[in-house]
């Protein structure tokens, strides 16, 4: 009887001293938001009406006695939100920023973006998530990636094969496995080798990585944070690249953990300068690192050495270090496209973003 009375109170949207609350941030226009869930007066087939407040925020409350509740908002109790379910522990208050349209993001190209640090220019290729236009209240984590020509479009890719980063994110978001992110792809330049590397390999030279790092941190990131609705803090900012771009990502995160909390080195060139990055590993920083390599002529031995060196520095597998050996993987975009979901899912699992 007591539980029934509490459920009735929750259905009316009344607050409770021991209540679990979801706040849905969405401009429904003349419509309304309902809450569908696996318990209480809500169900997966029929929702309970949320109460509209200021700023297009819809609130619904239920008693802690229900325990953990899995829920999704529904527009006019007819169209359920795209993506995964939201899980609220008893007593929690959760702000969510849903969308109800198709899970297809949009690519925006910024041409001739100048680098005062490198005295050159290049394009930025910015992937905006599916909800970006639909839900103006939502802000997003940001993933910075190198070699942008190869990320989204086979027509611009170096060898005619793209990573398919946009398609992978669209799929993972639609399946409710990954949070939405903004991806900022930074084109490489004719100076790719020196820009992506520290000084100095006996054969290839290099040494412009510090200037390239400053280009990202002092020019690209401020522009991105000003132009789009980002979550600019370190906990919401990641960097990823492959090959030389892999070591660039690792080094930049090691040097700027105040800006980046996540870094992925895919098939990283840890052989650079007689394995100096492995042999002279800096002290542990509060960054989650993802490292991988394929088993077919892809530097797996050097990447394994880097993993072992990081473990000795105090990193913990599964906690702040994820290592993956890709069986049959090679040093090419086809292999990277096949496993780009692994760092994406580790960095941005569904329900991990808070704003």
190-236 pLDDT per residue, tens: 999 999 999 999 999 999 999 999 999 999 999 999 999 999 999 99
* Domain, as residue range, for 23: 2-96
Whole-number percent of the chain with pLDDT over 70: 95
Task: Please calculate the CA angle 253-315-343 and round it to the nearest 5 degrees.
Answer: 55
Residue 57 sits in a domain of what CATH number? 2.60.40.10
**What pLDDT, on the 0 to 100 scale, is given for residue 70?**
97
Instruction: Look at phi and psi of residue 91 and say left if phi exceeds 0, alpha if psi is from -120 to 50, else beta.
Output: left
327 in Cβ contact with 300 (< 8 Å): no
Of 38, 64, 96, the last residue of a domain is 96
Q: How confident is the model at residue 33, as a pLDDT?
A: 98
Number of domains present in the structure of the chain: 2
Instruction: Tell me, yes or no, whether 296 and 241 share the same domain.
Output: yes
- Residue finishing a domain among 46, 65, 96: 96
> Are 225 and 330 part of one and the same domain?
yes
Q: Is residue 352 part of a domain?
A: no
Distance CA 299, CA 304 (A): 9
For residue 283, give the DSSP letter: P
Cis peptide before 200 (omega within 30 of 0): yes
Residue 353 covered by a domain: no
Clarify whether residues 162 and 110 are in a common domain: yes
Residue 11 reports pLDDT greater than 80: no
Identify the band that residue 12 occupies on the pLDDT scale cut at 50, 70 and 90: very low
Mean pLDDT (the chain) is 94
Pairing of strands 262-266, 19-25: unpaired
Residue 311 lies in a domain: yes
Please give the pLDDT value at position 6.
Answer: 39
Q: Could you tell me if 36 and 155 lie in one domain?
A: no
């Amino acid at each position: 009887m007591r539980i029934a009375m509490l459920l009735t109170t929750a259905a009316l949207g009344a607050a409770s001293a021991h209540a679990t609350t979801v706040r849905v941030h969405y401009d429904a226009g003349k419509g309304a938001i309902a809450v569908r869930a696996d318990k209480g007066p809500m169900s997966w087939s029929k929702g309970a009406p949320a109460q509209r407040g200021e700023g297009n925020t819809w609130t619904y409350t239920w008693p802690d006695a229900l325990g953990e509740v899995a829920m999704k908002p529904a527009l006019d109790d007819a169209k359920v939100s795209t993506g995964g379910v939201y899980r609220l522990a008893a007593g929690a208050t959760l702000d969510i920023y849903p969308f109800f349209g198709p899970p297809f993001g949009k690519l925006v190209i910024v041409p001739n973006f100048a680098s005062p640090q490198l005295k050159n220019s290049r394009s930025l290729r910015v992937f905006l998530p599916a909800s970006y236009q639909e839900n103006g209240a939502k802000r997003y984590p940001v993933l910075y990636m190198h070699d942008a020509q190869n990320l989204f479009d086979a027509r611009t890719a170096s060898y005619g094969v793209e990573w398919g980063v946009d398609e992978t994110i669209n799929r993972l978001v639609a399946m409710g496995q990954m949070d939405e992110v903004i991806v900022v792809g930074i084109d490489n330049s004719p100076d790719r080798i020196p820009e992506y590397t520290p000084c100095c390999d006996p054969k290839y030279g290099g040494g412009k990585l510090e200037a390239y790092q400053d280009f990202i941190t002092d020019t690209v990131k401020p522009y991105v944070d000003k132009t789009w609705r980002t979550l600019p803090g370190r906990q919401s900012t990641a960097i990823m690249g492959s090959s030389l771009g892999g070591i660039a990502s690792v080094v930049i995160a090691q040097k700027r953990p105040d800006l980046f909390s996540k870094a992925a080195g895919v098939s990283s060139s840890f052989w650079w300068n007689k394995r100096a990055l492995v042999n002279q590993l800096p002290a542990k920083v509060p960054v989650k690192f993802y490292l991988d390599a394929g088993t077919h002529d892809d530097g797996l031995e050097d990447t394994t050495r880097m993993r072992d060196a990081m473990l000795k520095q105090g990193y913990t597998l599964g906690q702040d270090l994820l290592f993956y050996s890709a069986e049959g993987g090679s040093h090419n975009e086809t292999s990277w496209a096949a496993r780009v979901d692994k760092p994406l899912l580790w960095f941005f699992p569904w329900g991990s973003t808070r704003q």
